[in-house]
Amino acid sequence: MTCSRRRFLAAGASALAAMPVSKAGAVPAAAGAAVDASAEPTAPRGRPMFRYNNGRFRILQFTDLHNSYSTKKEYAKAEKTLDRIRLLLEQEKPDLAVITGDIIVNSGGKTPVGCELLEGGVAEGWARFTKPFEEAQVPFVTTFGNHDHDREKSVSAKEQLEMIRRSPMSRVYNADDSLPGAGNCSIPILGSDGTDAVRLWFIDSLSYPKRRELSSCAWIDYSQIQWYRRESANIETLAGRKVPGLMFFHIPVLEFNQMRDRSQTFGHYGEDADSSELNSGLFTSLIERGDVLGIFTGHDHNNDSLLQYKGIVMAYGRKTGYGGYGPHDQGGRLIELVEGSDGYRTCIVTPGRTDYPWYWRARPRE
Ligand SMILES: [Fe+2]
């Protein structure tokens, strides 16, 4: 969802055809039993890692759930969204789910935390969110969206991260506690030889700048970019080569606006990217480091588009939630990596459907 500005393009004008390549007593009856939100953290405390599964690794990106538990109507939508996630997890059987932000929202800022109907408050909200992944035994990583930060006065991002990490299927962690936000981290996918084959990067794209006159949305902080650059260089030194990577965060960077009016833009581009108005240089750093092959974001619910720009794929996920605006059927973006291959496949998935299949073969730049 937008920070404050939302400029819609004419509906359909940029949608392109396929191209190649509680309060306890207030809980609605449909809510079911309360979810235990008090469990101790059980997710791995060390640095997590993934492995190829018979030569493949499937990532299912969900984004912009906009779950809220402030009204009965919102509560019902949140339950419906979690059921949609259950369905897609069953359908796609991913090795990892990545949820790129705006997961629990606060009724458009009208309520403090967005979980007023839950006896366990925001901790129960997060516990409800993690249930589908636990039921399906699918590990997941979250990146926070601007609306997940909206309750900072009540609960900080780092406190929320610890709530998420109570789930045994959570793999997100803070690589460096000094960085802004929470959940900035990278996780390797190991090849069958045990080496670092692919690196997954997760960034908190934050929410709003202190000086709102500068931009409606925050920019990724220079310290986060420095962290990426430092880690990327260390990984290259250890591996003796650049390790190809994919990066996930919520608010698109300014370069996503290159999708506008380009015939190569693939998928729905129904609104301009609501990026920060200032460019803090993450994209340029990715170009300079030459290892990240794709950036995957959310935030703009009318978009599920993809564009290869300056050698890097910029892609939106498909909005997954029933809350908030957005015209498209609630779904996800599947990304499939094949061990030993230098490319990956991606497409939009909804119940019984696959749309906008796209395949890229490329090598990391030297
Ligand atoms: Fe959103």
Centroid of ligand 1 to alpha carbon of 342 (angstroms)? 32
Q: If we measure between CA atoms, which residue out of 338, 70, 329, 64 comes closest to residue 197?
A: 338
Q: What is the pLDDT of residue 47?
A: 80
Span 340-365, pLDDT tens digits: 887 899 999 999 999 999 997 665 44
Centroid of ligand 1 to alpha carbon of 348 (angstroms)? 18
Could you tell me if residue 27 is inside a domain? no
Contacts of 309 (CB under 8 A, 6+ apart): 255, 258
Could you tell me if residue 158 is inside a domain? yes
Whether pLDDT at 301 is above 70:
yes
Query: Residue 235 is part of which domain span?
Result: 50-360
DSSP code, position 317: -
For residue 106, name the pLDDT band (cuts at 50, 70, 90). Answer: confident
Centroid of ligand 1 to alpha carbon of 248 (angstroms)? 15
Could you tell me if residue 217 is inside a domain? yes
Whether pLDDT at 14 is above 70:
no
Which two structure tokens, joined as six digits, stand for 354? Answer: 């696959």
Q: What is the pLDDT of residue 362?
A: 60
Q: How many domains does the chain have?
A: 1
Could you tell me if residue 203 is inside a domain? yes
Q: If we measure between CA atoms, which residue out of 186, 185, 144 comes closest to residue 161?
A: 144
Whether pLDDT at 275 is above 50:
yes
Centroid of ligand 1 to alpha carbon of 117 (angstroms)? 21
**Mean confidence (pLDDT) of the chain:** 87
- Rounded-to-integer distance, Cα 269 and Cα 255, Å: 14
- Rounded-to-integer distance, Cα 206 and Cα 180, Å: 8
Could you tell me if residue 13 is inside a domain? no
Span 166-175, pLDDT tens digits: 999 999 999 9
CATH code at 107? 3.60.21.10
Q: In terms of pLDDT, which residue wins out, 19 or 127?
A: 127
Residues with CB under 5 A from ligand 1 (ion): 1, 64, 102
Centroid of ligand 1 to alpha carbon of 228 (angstroms)? 25
Q: If we measure between CA atoms, which residue out of 53, 66, 143 comes closest to residue 97?
A: 143
Could you tell me if residue 247 is inside a domain? yes
Which stretches of the chain are assigned E, i.e. beta strand? 50-51, 56-62, 96-100, 140-143, 185-190, 196-202, 245-248, 292-297, 306-309, 312-316, 332-338, 343-350, 353-361
Centroid of ligand 1 to alpha carbon of 207 (angstroms)? 11
Span 155-202, pLDDT tens digits: 999 999 999 999 999 999 999 999 999 999 999 999 999 999 999 999
Could you tell me if residue 199 is inside a domain? yes
The alpha-helical segments, DSSP class H, found in 63-201 are: 72-92, 121-136, 157-164
Residue type (1 letter), 254: L
- Rounded-to-integer distance, Cα 251 and Cα 215, Å: 13
Global pTM value: 0.89
What separation in angstroms does the CA of 266 have from each of 3, 7, 18, 63, 263?
A: 24, 20, 7, 18, 8
284 backbone φψ class: left, alpha, beta (φ>0; ψ -120 to 50):
alpha
Q: In terms of pLDDT, which residue wins out, 88 or 8?
A: 88
Could you tell me if residue 111 is inside a domain? yes
